[in-house]
Each structure stands twice: as C-alpha cells, then as structure tokens.
Amino acid sequence: MKFHKAFKQALNMVLHSKLRSWLTILGIVIGVAAVIAIVSLSNSLETEMNSQFDALGGDLLTLTAGASRANYFSHGRGDSQEWGGGGATATEEGEEIELDRSDVQALKGVSDIKLMDTQISGNADIYYVAESGSVSVTGVDPSTWSQITTLEVAQGRMLGPADTNVIVIGGRIADGFFKKQLGINQLVTIESRLFRIVGILDDNSNSVYMPIDVAYDVIEDKERGIYDRIIIKVKDENQISLAINNTVKKLLIARHVTENTKDFSISSNQAQNESRAEMMNSMTTFLTAIAAVALLVGAVGVANTMFTSVLEKTKEIGIMKAIGARNNDILTIFLLNAALIGFIGGLLGVFFGGILSGMLPALMGQSGGMLSRMASGSSGISWSMVLITLFFSILLGMVSGAIPAYQASKLKPVDALRYE
C-alpha cells in the first residue's frame, strides 16, 4: 500500500474514533500545553533577567555592607536591625556595619573609579487622586545617577543635580498602576510629600527614583548619611578585576578590617548574573520535570488507547489482511494513526499552552513580581519551539503506539477474523 493511502486510512480511523480517543488526545494536549507554558515562561523570565542585567552594564560594581556575598535580592527590603541603622548589619559584638560618607571619601582615592552613586531603597505608599498603592522607592545621588544607570526615560528627563522634590517613575506606575494614566509634570503624593514627575522610564517596573536627600524622609527607618549601597562605575570595563582589587584594598584600610574580618562586599554584574542563572536553571529543571510527568501520563494514555483501538479493530485488521494487506501495511496504518493522535494533541497543546503562558503572569498578579511584569511583555513562544513540540508529540504518539501497532500487524488473519 502506498504511503498516502495508508495515511488516508489512518486519518479516517482518527476521524471515526470514539470519544475515548479524543480524551486521550486531551491527555496529550494537557501535557504539551504544560510544557509549552513552562518553557515559554522560563524563556521570557530569562529574557527579562538578561535585559535587566544588560541594563546594569558591565562597568558597574555594587558595594554593600556586611560580610556576606552581595545580597542582591534583599536590598529592596530596607533591612533594619535592632540598632535601627538603615541598611546596616550588626556584628556579633553589636557594632554596626554600614556604609557612610567615610567610605565615599575612601573610594574617592581609588583612581580606577570614575563615578559613584549612593543609594537607599525601600517601599513607600504612593497616592494619586483617591487611589493608593505600594511602590519600591530608590533614593539616588541626583548628580551622578543619570550618568551611571543604564535605565532610560521614555518621556521627560532623568534626575539632575539641582532636583529635590521630583521623581522619575517606572513605566508600570505611569500606565496601569492607577486608573488614570500618569504624565510628565503631574503631582503625586508619596508618604505625605508632594512630588512632581519629571521622567517616565522605558520599562515595566513599579519603581520610583528620587534624590536621596528626600528619600531619607520618605523611606522608613533610614538614617541620614547611611547608604544601603554604593554603585561604582569604573573607568575601564576591561580592567574591572583590577578595579575591584584596588577598591577592596582601599576599603580594608579605611574600615580597619583585614581580609578575614572583611565587613563589606563588592559584586560585579557578572557574578550576580551567574547566581541568577543558577537559580533559573534549577527552577526550569524542576518545572520541566513536572511537565515531563504530564507528558508521560499523556503517552501512557496514547498507548492505552492504541491497545484498545487495536482490540476494537481486530476484525477490521483481519478483513484487511484477507483482502491483501501486508503486515507492513497494517503497521504503517496504525503507526500513522498514533502519530496523528500525537500531532493533533500537540497542535492543540501548543495552542492552549500559548494562551496559558500569556495568562499565567497576569494570574499571578502583583505577587508574581517579575512574572507580572512580563504580562505585557513579549510571549516566550517561538516558531522553532512550536515545531520542536509538534515533532516530539508526533514522536510520542508513535513511540506509545509502536507496540500495539506491531501487535496488530502480527495478528494471524484467521484469528483476527474470528474476533467479535
């Protein structure tokens, strides 16, 4: 039998299949949809992260107090310990570890450093008309921030040296946070202080940037003159390790500590990137495992349907053999049937997976953090992914259908014909 004739038979079999086959297809649909959603989610998560880290720039260092490794994830928390020092950590002896003017002074003596931006951050309540919400506020040095940060404004301008009661807001606050859209020169209240918006960032964040002087009044538990972190821009990106070494040496002396009692840490963009990637990897692996289980269940479903289908079609197989079908013809027809089930399941799975991956971030809402920001971002589904998925669901169908199809082909015509 020619291939396209066998295909016609297989297609006919699928079209005339009972509800049960369609339920099997549903099994594959769910598996594939889960895979698509998970893969596309982690894809866009990765893109989102990469874009954030690209934005940080390779010539930037982040100096924080404390002996631990750079704690990127906690700097927005506004750590405040029993001593009440903003952004400070306490040693065992109860001595505060913090960054202050003297550190800035010390850093000024490092020739590799081009610019510095002292920052504090935390959460604050924002009010506009009758609405309110919580945003993350970062106080920055208005005279250097715009030269150091790689954030860009979509409208308006960045902060300048003379600014006081003005802010630059993230794209999400301008559009989507309040019922009304916010624009340049509009006034908002943050913790009972009035601010004028001078710039809107070209991003999707819920962040507010303001001069550090006013930020001390807005963010709770921050002590004036104490910084959460100092962002350092080096002169030569290619000499960044040298710059780190020199900076560390200088700070060890200035802070009267040794390599062993070091009470500060400097992290570069690259290092953060790596730890992020590590976390991403383990998360993706975990999610993929879940999806794989879902797919496995789908595969078992196909195998089960194929076995029953072979049983159901035993008589037809006998008839086909009686009128000249070779074993190979039967094998081809049943394999194609399984492949078609896989294909249809895959196709529907890609479709629903696409919808799901578009919906998930929105469902997670505010608590989704980075995920929620992706809701309006680009979907992580690519054509190559669709093709690979389809290829694998067809393969899945065929692998699960292989044994039943082989059994069907080996049936003795006389036995098959007698089957009722």
Binding site for other proteins (CB under 8 A): 1-2, 5, 12-13, 16, 315-316, 318-329, 412-414, 417
Q: Is 209 within 8 Å of 168 (Cβ atoms)? A: yes
Question: Which CB atom, from 255 or from 315, has the smaller least distance to other proteins?
Answer: 315
> Is the Cβ–Cβ distance between 276 and 375 less than 8 Å?
no
Q: How far is the CB of 16 from other proteins (least distance, A)?
A: 4
What secondary structure letter does DSSP report for 181?
A: P
Task: Please state, in angstroms and rounded to a whole number, the distance separating the CA atoms of residues 350 and 78.
Answer: 43
Residue whose structure tokens are 């979509």: 154
Cβ proximity to other proteins, 56 vs 330, nearer residue: 330
Q: Residue 353 Cβ, how far from other proteins at the closest point, in Å? A: 32
Please, which residue, 19 or 162, has the CB nearer to other proteins? 19
Q: Is the Cβ of residue 173 or residue 325 nearer to other proteins in the bound state?
A: 325
Residues 254/109, Cβ–Cβ less than 8 Å: no
Question: By C-beta, is 21 or 272 nearer to other proteins?
Answer: 21
Least separation in angstroms between residue 320's CB and other proteins is: 7
C-alpha angle with apex 42: 41 to 48, nearest 5 degrees? 90
The number of residues making up the chain comes to 420
Q: Toward other proteins, which CB reaches closer, 14 or 190?
A: 14
Give the three-state DSSP class for 300.
helix
- Least distance to other proteins from the beta carbon of 408, Å? 14
Min. distance of Cβ 336 from other proteins in angstroms?
14
Q: How far is the CB of 301 from other proteins (least distance, A)?
A: 22
Q: How far is the CB of 15 from other proteins (least distance, A)?
A: 8
Question: Which tokens go with 381?
Answer: 């589904």
CA angle 407, 413, 418 (to 5 degrees): 100
Tokens encoding 306:
């194929």
Provide the minimum distance between the beta carbon of 17 and other proteins in the complex, in angstroms, as a whole number. 9
Query: Given the structure tokens 């059994």, which residue do they identify?
Result: 407
Cβ-Cβ contacts under 8 Å for 19 (sequence gap 6 or more): none
What angle do helix axes 19-56 and 327-364 make, rounded to 10 degrees?
Answer: 50
Burial of 209 (0-12, 13-18, 19+ CB in 10 A): buried
CB-based contact 217:193 (threshold 8 Å): yes
30 or 340, CB closer to other proteins? 340
Paired tokens of 154: 């979509």
Q: Residue 53 or 406: which CB sits closer to other proteins?
A: 406
Residue with tokens 């040095």: 141
Q: How far is the CB of 411 from other proteins (least distance, A)?
A: 11
Give 76 or 413: the residue with its C-beta nearer to other proteins. 413
Nearer to other proteins, 129 or 322 (CB): 322
Residue 383 makes CB contacts below 8 A (sequence gap 6+) with: none
**CB 304 → other proteins: shortest distance, Å?**
21
